[in-house]
Amino acid sequence: MPAFPTLDKLEVAGKRVVVRADLNVPVKDGRVTDTTRIDRSAQTIKDLMSRGAKVVVISHFGRPKGRDLTFSLKPVVGPLTRALGGKIVAFAEDCTGDAAIRVISQLRPGDVAMMENLRFHPEEEKNDIGFAQKLAILGDLYVNDAFSCAHRAHASTEAIARILPSAAGRLMQAELEALGKALEKPEHPVAAIVGGAKVSTKLDLLGNLVSKVDMLIIGGGMANTFLFAQGVEVGRSLCERNMADTAREILKKAEKAGCQIVLPSDAVVAADLKEGAPSQVVPIGQVPADMMILDTGPDSARAIALRLSDCKTLVWNGPLGAFETRPFDAATNEVARAAAQLTQTGKLLTVAGGGDTVAALAHAGVEEQFSYISTAGGAFLEWLEGKVLPGVAALGQKPSVKKLPPPPPPKKVVPKAPEPVKAAPAKKTEEKMPEAKAPDKRVAPAPKAAPEKATAPAKKPAAKKAAPAKKAAPAKKPGAKKAAPVKKAAPAKKPAAKKAGPVKKAAPAKKPVAKKATPPKKPAAKKATPVKKAAPAKKAAPAKKPVAKKPAPAKKPVTKKAAPAKKPAAKKSAPAKKAPAKKGKKK
């Protein structure tokens, strides 16, 4: 394993530190059900906070296909806050771009922010250098604290380390130091326990271990394949019969390397894998054809515990039986407790890892009593297999990829938000538009005043009377009522003076007519003539113009109004024609 720098070699005060953590924790109904990984990641974050760094946490969560909020890291914010002793953790809706930069720009020394799921961007798993540069913009330094992801060459684990100065976090450091002591520079004798279902999934692991350990203890379904390869019948047990030749090759390799292979000497068998199912212990070689081997036998478990007492180092990966179902957890529990006791007395260095292994040790109640338990899973296995872990190999290298220049400060984003206010000028133009229409409407009556100039003598009084007419305009209906009494006044033609009286009352709207009517009192014909002129109903018509909604009255309303004027004139002219006709003939 290559040498790697730690946090102790970084000057972090006042700097933005991007921390790659593994916060891929189980969540049900929006709540985290196991905070183990969060609690372990808190150590590095606290260290950086205490030294005045601005901590930017990045992580993946699940396997989303694009941006899927069911895989959001937001539910992790609360548990991380509690793991940090109540320190508020800011959350950014994305891990790159303006959303991330805006949140980070508000951090002060000692503050923490978490970015949204890295895997919302497919470039992450492609180890895209362009995406890594976008992540690098978020900080000045990079810390990898996710050993569980170190076996993957992703943008957030490998490429970014080629852009920013980097180091291992406290959790990564503990993992690497523990694994180094277990296999790279271990104290001998070294034992390894490897369990699980299939040989096919751990061929590289087994091939690497036989060259590094003194004793390889095989259990679980994997042991059945090795027993079958040696000619032992295993009944209905899980067994990869097609891997028999591979198993024999591993046995030969172990023999050449001086590694002792330990297989069960007895087994617990049952017809069904059920809680509390009837079971029995049988010697290897006497497994009934209708039974299955579901756990390592008690004699074998005691023998393994005894062998461990002679060892100095133990690496454990995989359970010895179907520990999830009782009573097939007995062998795993017994060996785990024996190893934990040796660890507590300082006689044995114990390192364990792998998903099922951690669960099995927790089931046995000894997860806190081993020297180190890795939650890495795949990374732990690849390390056991002797493979180079990209995330580890990249640490401490001199940046070989130029970092992109920082984007403009997020202040520019702030004015962009109020930019919608620019819609206000649009409102002003809308206000100007109706104002433009209003004067156009007023301009329309102006040309109407021009024709009135042709009747100059009538314009002056008309203008003065037009004002009251406008006031009277709303009261158009009473005008019609006044027309009715005029019809009644028509039969009473003899008392001209009396008629003149009402005419004078009507005259206020027709004063010029009244003046002509005053000198010739006797000749009613003259009065009749003014009546024709008094078609001033035509003058009344302009009073109707406002009634016609000033927009339309231009020319058409005049003709329309003239028409009704003719009708009342015809009614009044009928008696008038008779009267003047007679008088005219006499004259």
Catalytic residues: 37, 198, 355, 378
Tell me if 192 sits within 8 A of 209, measured CB to CB: yes
In the sheet with 372-374, reading across from the earlier edge strand, the strands are 260-262, 215-218, 190-194, 313-317, 349-353, 372-374
Q: Does the CA dihedral 93-113-37-204 come out positive or negative?
A: positive
Query: Do 145 and 171 form a contact (C-beta atoms < 8 A)?
Result: yes
Which of 316, 393, 411, 392 is closest to 360 using CA atoms? 316
**56 exposure class (CB count in 10 Å sphere: 0-12, 13-18, 19+):** buried
Give me the sign of the Cα torsion angle 519, 524, 529, 533.
Answer: positive
Query: Looking at residue 353, what DSSP letter applies?
Result: E
Structure tokens at 526: 């003259």
Report CA-CA distances (Å) from 26 to 71, 117, 171, 502. 11, 15, 20, 101
Quote the CA–CA distance of 364 and 367 in Å, as a whole number. Answer: 8
d(CA 73, CA 246): 43
- Neighbour-count burial of 450, counting CB atoms closer than 10 A to its CB (0-12 exposed, 13-18 middle, 19+ buried): exposed
Whether 118 contacts 152, CB under 8 Å: no
Residue 420: partners with Cβ closer than 8 Å, 6 or more residues away: none
Structure tokens at 32: 């985290």
Q: Is the dihedral of CA 529, 531, 532, 538 positive or negative?
A: positive
CA distance 339 to 331: 12
CA angle 475, 479, 482 (to 5 degrees): 140
Amino acid at 288: P
